[in-house]
Amino acid sequence: MSRKRILVVDDEADFLSSLAEILEEEGYAVEKAVNGREALARLSGAPLPSVVILDLMMPVLGGGEVYAAMRADPRLVSIPVIVSTSDPAQAPAGATFLRKPIDLGRMLETVRRLC
Query: CATH code for 5-114?
Result: 3.40.50.2300
Domain map (residue ranges) of the chain: 5-114
- Confirm whether pTM is higher than 0.95: no
> How many Å separate Cα 42 from the centre of its chain?
12
For the stretch 77-96, pLDDT in tens is 999 999 998 888 888 888 99
Which ranges of the chain have pLDDT less than 70? 1-2
